[in-house]
Structure 1
Amino acid sequence: MQEPMVFAGTEGETQVSLRDYIRVLYRGRWVILLSFLAVVGATAYFTFRATPIYEATATIMIDTERSPNVGLDFLAPLGMGTRETIINNQVEVLKSRTLAQAVLEELRRQGYDRTFYLFSDGKGRWSLRAKEVENPGDEVLIKRLQDRIKISPRRQTDFIDIKVQAPDPKEAMILANTIAEVYHRWSLEHSREEVRKVKEFLEEQLRKKEKDLVASELALKQYQEEHGVAELSAETEQLVEQLAGFEALYNEAKTKLGEARTRLRYLRSQYADQLRSLDEDMLHVTSPLLEELRDKLAELEATYARLISQNYRDDHPILANLRGQIGHIKEKMRQEIRALVQKGLSVSDPMGYSQALLERIYGLMVEVEADSSRARALGEVVRQYEERLKQVPEKSLQLARLKRAFEVNEKIYIMMKERLEETKITEAGRIGNVFLVDPAREPLYPVKPKKKLNLLLAAIIGLGMGLGVAFLMEYLDTSIHTVEEIEKQGFSVLAWVPRIQVAGRGGEYFMMSERLTSHLEPRSPVSESYRTLRTNLQYARASQALRSLVITSPSPKEGKSTTVANLAIVMAQAGMQVLLVDSDLRRPVLHHLFGQDKEPGLTEVVLGRASPEEVLRSTEVEGLTLLPCGTIPPNPAELLGSEGMHELVRQMGRRYDFVLLDAPPIIVVTDALLLSKEVDGTLLVVRAGQTDRNALLRARSLLDQVGVQAVGVVLNDIDVTGGYGKYYYPYYYYYYYY
C-alpha cells in the first residue's frame, strides 16, 4: 500500500512504499524506544506510588408506586410522578448539601471523625488513624464528601447505586452504608412530617379536653351532692343528649378544621421558597364560578346540619344524597382551581411544579372552607338547642347544663382519642418509599489507580509519541539516505558503498590507510561495491568511453577521497594503468592514504618547477600511480584553471589508461567546476544521512551552468545493518564468504 508523502526540498509529491516506512521506523528506533520507556516508566512510577482508592456500593430502591415522591405526593395527578422524574429527584436529593451535612453529623456521632481520611489530610492508613486530627470546616468536609460520592440510577429500574470512594476499603463501606441509612431515615421522617404535625395538634387538643372532662365531671358530681338532684326528667334528658350529640359533632367539625389548617400551615412553611417565587395574585385566585361553588357548598352544609338536627340518621337517603352533592361541589372547586392555576402558570412553570403545589394548597383551602361551613351550620344547631334548653326550669337547668358539659366533653374526648389513634396508625403506615436492597460491603481490590489500564495507555501513548517524533524527524531531515531518493532527483546512481569499519589503531594516518578496503580486503562487500562502480563507469556513456574523471562531492566530509582512492585500486586490479591525481589543493589527503610524501607534486608540475617524472609516485598496487598535490598554493582555483593544468591533463590522458582527479567540494569552491571542463566526466559522491538533497540539486545546477553533466552519483557510507543496505548486504556477504 502506498500513500503520498511530501519531501522537503522536492517539488510536488512523491510516492513512498512500505519499505520507506520501515526504514523510518528503523532509523528512529532509539527515539521510539526511549519515548516508550520514558512514558511507561514515569506512568509506572506514579501509578505504583499513588494511594490506592477503594469503591464501595450500596443499592437502594425507590418505590414509585407507593409514594410518587418524598414529601411531594401531590405531584402525581399532574404527571409529575413519573418514574423517571421521581428517580431524578431522588438522585439530586442524594447529591444535596443537606444530606451531606446530615451524613457528617451521623459520622461524628459514631466517632468516625477521629479515624476517617475524610476528616483529615488523607495521610496514613486505617490502623494508624486512631489519633486526634485537626478537623477542617464543615464546608470543606461537605465538598470533600460530595466529591467522593457518585450516584448512578440504573436504567429502566427503580434502583439507585450509591458509590463512595475512599483510600481505605472499610471507610468506603461505612460511608456508603451511612449515606444510605441517613437518606432512608430522612426520607421516612420527611414523609411522616405532615401527619406528625396533625398528631401534635390532636395531642394538644386532647390534653385540653381531658382537663375539661375532669373539670366538668367534678362540677356535675359536686352539684348533685350539694342539691340532692340525681336525675333529670325524661324530656330534659333527651334534650341534653341531643344537644350533647350536636355539640360533639360541632367540635368534631372544628377539630377537622384545625387539622386542615395545620396541614395548610405546614405546606406553606415547608415550601415557602417556592411560594415566594410565585406571583402574589396566584395565591389568591378566584372566579365567579368559584364564588358560586363556595356559596353552594355553605348552603349544602347548612342543609346537612339542619337535617341532622331533625333526627335524620346517617344512612338516610337524603343525607347520603347531600353528602354526594357536597363531594361533587368540592371536586368542581378543585377542577376550577386547577384550571385557574394552569392558566396563570402555563408559561412560567413548564414543568408543572408550582402548579401542583398551588393545587395542593387550594385543595386544603377547599377542605378548610367545607369544614368551616359545616362547623358554622352545626354551631347554629347547637345555638338553637341551647335556646330550647333555657326553657327548662331553673333548678333543672343548671344540672342540665353541667350534665351537657360533661357529656359533650366526654364525647369530644373519645372522638379525639379515636382521631389520635387513627393519626398514629397513619403515621406508622408511612414507611417511606426508600428501601436498602444491598448494603455496601468492604471492597477487596482498589478501583484506582487502574494499573493495567494505565500501563496499557502509557505504552500506547509512549509508542505514539515515539512514532510521531520519528516521523517528524524524518520530515525535517532533508538528508539523502537511499538510492531511490537520488534517482527521484533525476540522477543515475552508479553504485552504493557500505560503511567502512575502521579499527582505529595506530593513529589518524593508520586509520586513513585502513580505508583502502579494495586493497586490504578485496573480497569484502565494500570492494565489490567499488568494482560495481568501475563496471558502470565503463558503460556510463555509449557514445564516448571515459578515460578521465573528476570525483567531487556537494559538501565536505562526504568520502570523495576514499571513493576515488578505492576506485583507482579496483581499476588497477583490472589491469589498467591508472593515474590518481590529488587535485584537492585545499585539504589533500591521498598522500596520507598511500603513505607518500605530499611534496613535490601537482603544484610544482603546473608551475613548471618539476617534470611529471620527478613527482609521480608508484604505490603498492600494481598499475596505480599517485600524483600528490604538492605545495599548497595561495590561489588554487587560478592554478587549476591555468593552461599548465590543461596541458598536464591532456598529457597524462595519453600516457595512462585512466586518469582520476580528486577535487574539492563543488559547492564550497569553484575548483571542481574548472577541472570538470578538462576531463571526460564528473562523478558526484554523496554520503548517506549527511548530504542534503538541496545540496545535491545545487551541485547539479552549478554543473549545468558550466555545461557539464555528471555521469552519475555514488551513495557512500550506507549502514548495511539497517535501512536500505540491509536488503542487499546479506547477498554480498553470502556470495563472497561462502
Structure 2
Amino acid sequence: MVNGSIWDKQNIIRIAIQRKGLILAVFILTVMLTVGMNALLPKVYEAETTVRIKQPKALANSLLADQPVEGGNTKQLMQSNTEILKSRTVAQAVIAKLPQDRYAAISPNDILRRISTSSINGEILKIKVQGKTPEEAQTIATALMDAFVQRITGLSRREQKAAREFIGERLLEAKAELETAESAFEDYKREQKIVSPADETKVMVENLAGMKKANDENTTALAAAAAKLSNIREQLNRQKQGVLADNQLIQQQKNKLAELEGEKAGLLAKYTADHPQVQSVQASIDKIKVDLNEEISRVVNGDAPSTNHLRQGLLENEIQVGAELSTASARKTATEQIIASDQQDLAKIPAKEHGLAIVERDVTVAREKYVMLAKRHEEARINEVMQPLEVQVIDEPDASPSPVQPKKTLNLLLGAVIGLVSGIGLAVLGEHVQKKMATEEDVKRYLDLPVIGMVPDFTDEPRPGYIRYRNKLRAVFKWLSGQG
C-alpha cells in the first residue's frame, strides 16, 4: 500500500533505496544480455564513395538553343540519378560483375538493401555499401559504381543516337534539296541569259533567305520537341499514372513567351540581333523562361508530391517541352507571315529578276540548311561516342577496417538505461502489489500513528490460490531487494 501517488519522486527514491537489490539484479541481467547480443550479432562493414552529379549538356541544347534548358532543377536531377543508382537494372549489372564463385546466391534485392545514399550541397552524392567483410563491401561498391556509370552512359548514348538518326534523315533531305536548287539556279541563268539580280533585289533575297533559314531551324526544333514530348508521354503511360495539367500561371507565361517570340521574329526581319530593340525583347524572353522553369518546379514538387523521383522529372520535362512547342509554334507562325510578306514584295520586281531571285534564294536557303544540319549531325555523332560527364567519381570506393554494426557502445548504453528503468519499474510494481503493512515502520509511515504492540498471526487456514500466488510473488520481491 502506498500513500499518495506511486510515481511521486520521493516514493520512487525511497522504493529504489529499499529495493536496490532487485534493481541491481535487473540492471546486471540486462547489461549481460546486451553484451551477449553484441557478441552474437554479425559484423557489418561499409565502403564509401563520392560522386558529383552535373547538369547534363545534351544535344537538345544546341538544337533548341532558344528554348528553356531541360532538367534545370538540380535537386530533381540528383533524385533521378539516385533512383537510377538504386534500380534493379543496375543491381543486376552489379551481380554480373561480381565473382560468381563467391556471390552466386546474392540477389538484386540483397544488393539494393546494402546501398544507402545522402546528398551534399545539391551536386555531391555520397554512396555507402555494406558487406560482411571490408573486402566484400569494397568489391560490391566498385562494381556498383561501374554499373551506375555504364547505365548513365547507355541512357545518354541512346538519346544521342536517336537525335543523330533524326538529324541524319533531315541531312539527306537537305542535301537533295540543295542539289535540286543548284541545278535549277544554273538552268535558269542559262535559259534566261541573266547573271545576277539588281542590288535592291539582292537585299530582298538575303532578307528572305535569312527568314527561310530561321524558319527551317525552327521547324527542326519543333520536330525535335514533338519527338521528345512523345517519348516523355510514352514513359509516363508505362507508369500508368496521369499527366499533370498546366496551372493558370504556367499557361499565362507560355502565352506571353509565345507573343515575345513572335515579336522577336518580326524585329529580326528589320534589324540584326545586336539591335537594342531585339536585345530588349530577348531579355524579356530570358526572364519569362526563368520564371516558367521555377513555376514548373514548384508545381511538380509541391502540387504533385511523389516518392517516385523519376516520374517527377518526367512531369517537369513534359511541361517544359510543352512550353517549347508553344514557343516554336508561335515563332513558326510569325516567320511564315514575314516570309509571305517578303514574297509579295519580290513579286513586284521584273519577271526575269523575280525568277532569278527565287532560284537564288532557294539555293541560299538550301545551302544554309545543309550546313546547319551537317554541323548538328557531327555534334550528335561526337556526343554519341563521348563518355558523358554527368556523373564524375570524386572518391573511389574505400572500405573501413572497423565494422559499422553492431554499434557496441551505443547498444551497451541503451541496455544499461533499459535495465535501470526496468529495475525501478519492477521495484515500484512490487511495492504497489503489497497490500498490507508488514512492519512497524510501515504503520508509522502510512498511518502516522504510534505503535502500541504487535499481534502475531496464528491462523493456519487454507487460502485461495490467487492469495498464495500473491504471497509467493511478494516473497520473491523481498528476497531480491534484501528484505525477505
TM-score class, shorter: 0.5 to 0.7
Letter in structure 2 aligned against 1:129: R
**Conserved? CA contact 1:345–1:355, under 8 Å:** yes
Please state if 1:159 is matched with 2:124: yes
Q: Is the 8 A contact 1:197 1:262 kept in 2?
A: no
Matches within 5 A, 1:587-598: none
Aligned residue for 1:111? 97
CA contact (8 A) 1:170 1:442 kept: yes
Equivalent residue, structure 1, for 2:48: 57
- Matching residue within 427, 433, 436 for 2:393: 436
1:102 is aligned to 2:89: yes
CA distance in structure 1 between the partners assigned to 2:85 and 2:68 by the alignment: 17
Q: Which residue of 1 aligns with 2:307?
A: none
Please tell me whether residue 149 in structure 1 is matched to residue 149 in structure 2.
Answer: no
What amino acid is aligned across from residue 6 of structure 1 in structure 2? V
Structure 1: state its 5+ residue gaps: 116-127, 308-318, 494-551, 556-664, 670-689, 694-718, 726-738
Mapping of 1:460-609 within 5 angstroms? 460-477=417-434, 484-485=441-442, 490-491=450-451, 554-555=456-457
For the Cα contact (< 8 Å) 1:173–1:443, is it kept in 2?
Answer: no
What is the CA-CA distance between 1:417 and the residue it aligns to?
Answer: 2.4
1:265 aligns with 2:205: no
SS at match of 2:405: coil
Structure 2 CA distance for aligned equivalents of residues 339 and 17 of structure 1:
64
Compute the displacement of 1:146 (Å).
4.5
1:172 aligns with 2:137: yes
Matched, 1:370 2:331: yes
CA distance in 2, matches of 1:338, 1:72: 8
* Deviation of the 1:433 alpha carbon: 5.5
Q: Which whole-Å deviations, capped at 9, do the CAs of 1:73-100 have from their partners, x for residues lacking one?
A: 5686xxxx5xxxx44x355435537851
Using structure 2 for the length normalisation, give the TM-score. 0.62
Give the one of 173, 181, 196 matched to 1:208: 173
Please state how far the C-alpha of 1:261 moved relative to its aligned partner.
0.4
Q: Which runs of 5+ in 2 are unaligned?
A: 62-66, 305-311, 462-470
The 1:271–1:331 alpha-carbon spacing in structure 2 relative to 1, beyond 3 Å, is farther
Query: Which structure would you say has the larger RCO, counting Cα contacts within 8 Å and 6 or more residues apart?
Result: 2
Closer/same/farther in 2, CA of residues 324 and 271 from structure 1, 3 Å limit: farther
Q: What CA deviation, in whole Å up to 9, does each residue of 1:55-90 have, x standing for no partner?
A: 2222234558999xx9995686xxxx5xxxx44x35
Other structure's SS at 1:59 match: strand
Distance in 1 separating the partners of 2:10 and 2:265: 97
Task: Tell me which residue corresponds to 2:80.
Answer: 93
The CA distance in 1 between the partners of 2:209 and 2:261, in whole Å, is 25
Given that 1:173 and 1:440 are in contact with CA atoms closer than 8 Å, whether structure 2 keeps it comes out as yes
Distance 1:230 1:206 in 2: 30
Hey, what does 1:561 align to over in structure 2?
Answer: none
Deviation, 1:446, is 1.9
Written as runs of structure 1 = structure 2, the 5 A alignment for 1:624-639 is: none
Q: 1:197–1:253: structure 2 CA closer, same or farther, 3 Å change rule?
A: farther
**2:244 is equivalent to residue 277 of structure 1:** yes
Give the count of matched residue pairs. Answer: 440
SS in 1 for 2:399: coil
Change (3 A) 1:388 1:167: farther
Seen in structure 2, the aligned counterparts of structure 1 residues 374 and 454 have a Cα distance that, compared at 3 Å, is: same
Q: Deviations over 1:703-733 (max 9, x none)?
A: xxxxxxxxxxxxxxxx9xx9689xxxxxxxx
Out of 386, 396, 410, the residue aligned to residue 453 of structure 1 is 410
Deviations 1:442-488 (A, max 9, x none): 23222122234334433443344344434533443467776644665
Residue matched to 2:466: none
Q: Percent identity over the alignment?
A: 20
CA gap of 1:208–1:191, structure 2 versus 1, over 3 A, is: same
Distance 1:91 1:320, change over 3 A: closer
TM-score with structure 1 setting the length: 0.44
Structure 1 residue 278, shift from structure 2 partner: 0.9
Deviations 1:691-711 (A, max 9, x none): xx9xxxxxxxxxxxxxxxxxx
Cα distance in 2 between the residues matched to 1:73 and 1:295: 20
Give the CA deviation at 1:256.
Answer: 0.8
User: Structure 1, residues 182-204: CA drift from partner, whole Å, max 9, x if none?
Assistant: 65666677789888765544332
Spell out the pairing of 1:282-361 with structure 2 (5 A cutoff).
300=267, 304=269, 319-320=271-272, 324-326=276-278, 328=280, 358=319, 361=322
1: CA distance, partners of 2:195 / 2:31: 106
Alignment partner, residue 213 of structure 2: 252
Residue aligning to 1:129: 102
Which one is further off, 44-53 or 192-201?
192-201
Distance 1:382 1:163, change over 3 A: same
Which of 1 and 2 has greater Rg? 1
Q: 2:411 and 2:288 mapped to 1: Cα distance? A: 64
Distance 1:468 1:370, change over 3 A: closer
CA deviation after TM superposition for structure 1 residue 107, in Å: 1.7
- Distance of 1:102 and 1:408 partners within structure 2: 47
Distance 1:384 1:62, change over 3 A: same
Q: Is the 8 A contact 2:48 2:397 kept in 1?
A: yes
Q: Is the 8 A contact 1:61 1:159 kept in 2?
A: yes
SS in 1 for 2:118: strand
Q: Which amino acid aligns with 1:153?
A: S
Q: Find the residue that maps to 1:448 and give its secondary structure.
A: coil
RMSD between superposed Cα atoms in Å: 6.1
SS of corresponding position for 2:93: helix
Rounded Cα–Cα distance in structure 1 between residues aligned with 2:86 and 2:68: 17
Question: Aligned equivalents of 2:483 and 2:440: distance in 1?
Answer: 8
Letter in 2 for 1:59: T
| Change in CA separation of 1:275 and 1:386 when aligned onto 2, cut-off 3 Å | farther
CA shift in 2, pair 1:282/1:183, >3 Å: farther
1:415 Cα deviation from its structure 2 partner: 3.7
Q: Distance in 2 between matches of 1:440 and 1:388?
A: 74
- State how far apart, in whole Å, the 1-side matches of 2:83 and 2:226 are: 25
